[in-house]
Amino acid sequence: MGFIDSFKRWRLAKRGMSSGKKRRTTSGSSVVDSMENSVWMKLVIYPVFAALACLIAAYYVADDILFNGDPLQRTVLCLILCAAVILFYHIRHTVSVGNGRVTLVFGGILVHLGLLRLTCYLINNNEFWDADYLLLLPPLAFAPMIHSVLLGRHAGFFSSLSVALFGCLLMPQDDIFFFLIINLVAGSIAVALTRNVRRRGSLLRAGFYVGATTMLLAVAFGKIDLSTFSSSEGLSDELTKMGVAVFGGLLTGMVISGLLPVLETLFLITTDISWLELSDLNHKLLRRLQLEAPGTYHHSMVVASLAESAAEEIGANAAMCRVCSYFHDIGKLKKPEYFIENQGDSNPHDSLTPTMSAIIIIAHVKDGVDMAIKHKLNPKIIEVIREHHGDSLVSYFYHKARDMRQSVEQKVKEGLENKEDIPEVDAKNFRYPGPGPSSRESGIISLADCVESASRSLKKPTPQKIRNLVRDLVMARVTSGQLDDSGLTMGEIKIACDSFSATLRSMMHTRIDYPKDDETGSKGKDDSRKTSVPPREPNARQQYEDRKRATGSKERSSHVAKTQIARKAPKPSGHPITGLNG
């Protein structure tokens, strides 16, 4: 079919009826999608997990381990643990959970068990390390930390419990209780410290605290003996154990920090760390938006603030809302002058029919998806670009088209136009292609987008006007079915409405009018500044100096007056010395 479509586009391009280009689209494989949600695929994953877990844990041979020398009993115990772990996982999650997530969870547990067995093998076959290192050297927080960052704290606690149970089969019988406690506490610390990770340095911090916790528990259980610090040999040994515990936690954090980008790519998961990296406003598309469509750029920034605040209120992913809002209208870069926020004195739609205007407005969604795919943006961003308008109606041009139709019909009745000139107005031609928002974050951005756009039309906005506008717009989206697949509850929508109203009130606040003097603005400013500060009472010295200046000014004025009188007096006629006439 791809070759036939290409041939058709080529023929249309030869006739001048097509550009020969095709928009990029995200077309997922139906086979991959069916495998992702297939229950039968889970029936393959779980037996593979049980078999590998038994191979790693049950068939490990070492002295003093549980049921040593009886592999059948160890295998039965391992299979019971596998069944319990799988059942416990589905108590929290439904059977319809994606198989990629299931693979990540149980695959992470297997990798953790593999590292634990490798560590036990190295310690048991090294005469320089005693059995105490079995509790200090293994990466106790590996799987819990990965699952907490990628999938959430519930997955982190689940993997912490699972690796603790399976790890008991690898430990000496005397250390099983100690290992269980240390593993559970260290895993819980890792999960608690990686709940909202936004920087990779937080992983190192979590690894350090895990190592410090392991060291303290080892001291509490006597695996690190502080009483031997009096001798130089004992001090060296115990300090080495402390360093191994702390360094092991730090190394775990460093390794996980490097593995996260690979795991995010493989399992199509985006962490808050990646969202923070994607929020850089120096991205090429955002720079173009700022220069070529400044109105759209400002609109996107405001939508980002609205969506982020609402997401924080309802517990959604605020970082994702902010980044997706930045890019949700990049399709307007194709024809920025056709959108009102970028227009100047002229409006290109004045010379177009409503149908053609609606086509241009609707096309910005497909253009945005095409540009996002071209620049390899995150799939979640592409999803929001496609869904943020749903299948809503471009109401302005639709009503304009209906008015034109009524006008032509009236002219036909008056005999001024022919019946064939009546334009057809179909609501389908004025609707966005959809689909509607499929996640809470996409639904929040959709609401924030329409709320911000409509708020620009308010004259003299007041808190009550803003609140009524937000309520009416959101309820219109709800009643039209745009949010049916978003997963937002009515309670969350109400909280989001309150957040939108509060944010818009802070953005659209009014200011007082500053008084200006009619003659000069600077004089008015000086007067206002002078009248705002009351004059000080003059002290004795100032009064003396004022009187002195006043006396001096009086003497100078009398002297000037005498001089002027002398000048005005008539001069005598005669010799200047004798006074006699020549």
pLDDT tens column, 155-174:
999 999 999 999 999 998 88
Average pLDDT score over residue span 270-278: 90
Model confidence at 571, in pLDDT bands (50, 70, 90)? very low
User: CB-based contacts of 279: which residues, under 8 Å, 6+ apart?
Assistant: 319, 322, 323, 326
Number of Cβ atoms within 10 Å of the Cβ of 569 = 7
Average pLDDT score over residue span 16-25: 57
pLDDT at residue number 63: 79
Quick one: what percent of the chain has pLDDT higher than 70? 81
User: How far apart are the C-alpha atoms of 7 and 517, rounded to whole Å?
Assistant: 74
pLDDT at residue number 281: 92
pLDDT at residue number 168: 92
Q: Closest Cα to residue 326, out of 293, 289, 292?
A: 289
pLDDT at residue number 51: 94
pLDDT at residue number 7: 56
Give the tokens for residue 377. Answer: 């943006």
Model confidence at 576, in pLDDT bands (50, 70, 90)? very low
pLDDT at residue number 77: 93
Give the tokens for residue 403. Answer: 């008015």
pTM of the model: 0.77
User: CB-based contacts of 341: which residues, under 8 Å, 6+ apart?
Assistant: 293, 295, 296, 298, 299, 456
pLDDT at residue number 200: 87
pLDDT at residue number 556: 52
Model confidence at 527, in pLDDT bands (50, 70, 90)? very low
Model confidence at 115, in pLDDT bands (50, 70, 90)? very high
pLDDT at residue number 524: 45
pLDDT at residue number 125: 86
Chain-wide mean pLDDT for the chain?
A: 83
